[in-house]
Amino acid sequence: MPRVKLYRFTDNASRPDIIEPGKPEYEQLGGRWRTDFFQAPNPVTLEVGCGKGEYTVGLAQRHPSRNFLGLDIKGERIWRGSTRAAEMGLTNVGFVRMRAEALAAQFGPGELDEIWITFPDPRPRDRDIKRRLTSPRFLGLYEQLLVAGGLLHLKTDNEGLFEYTLETLAARLGTTVERFTRNLYAETAPEFTEAQAIQTNFESKYRAVGVPIKYVQFRLT
């Protein structure tokens, strides 16, 4: 393992804003994230597959009266997000190192107010459909963890995943799609402002070569 990566993994173990396997708090915060981790009764927003934490940190900066968590399995990635949050002096943001499939072990029913899914792996092969973060399997999981009528967002550059998501939502009873667009940055309506306000490095690169960014906002009611 490269020395820099090893250092970051070791550093993660001492950072209070990173929850990961091996720490006493891991799998013990379910239902108590507001009181025991954030120590603030504010709404909790989760970014699933946060990568380097650019979106999680950006949201935390924009909304200081809310709590934000970034989830990713890669320890080096969340180290970067944690570092950036510390440099900005943010206290309303944290990171969880785990797989999305295990969300129910980490959060209590109705504990989340909002979920962002930003540029996930599209899993294009048919055999990987169940691993798509907007598959019925994951939507059912999100519904358990969100408050009633909690809000979800998807941003993606992948047309196949976007169309799959729209079809899946249309087929699901009790789902309300509030807005969607196949070209987010061509929109001028204020309803799209929040989704336009933050751009990851990955997103900017796709925009630079003319790839339209797709976006959908919905509720699992």
Find out whether 47 is annotated in a ligand binding site.
Answer: yes
Find out whether 157 is annotated in a ligand binding site.
Answer: yes
Find out whether 201 is annotated in a ligand binding site.
Answer: yes
- H or E stretch covering 82: helix 75-87
Give the CA angle between residues 65, 102, 137 to the nearest 5°: 100
d(CA 102, CA 34): 20
Find out whether 203 is annotated in a ligand binding site.
Answer: yes
Map residue 30 onto helix, strand or coil: coil
Task: Give me the active site residues, please.
Answer: 121
Find out whether 200 is annotated in a ligand binding site.
Answer: yes
Find out whether 221 is annotated in a ligand binding site.
Answer: no
Find out whether 187 is annotated in a ligand binding site.
Answer: no
What residues contact residue 6 under an 8 Å CB cut-off, 6+ apart?
A: none
d(CA 181, CA 84): 30
Annotated binding site: 47, 72, 121, 157, 200-203
Annotated binding site for substrate: 157, 200-203
Annotated binding site for S-adenosyl-L-methionine: 47, 72, 121
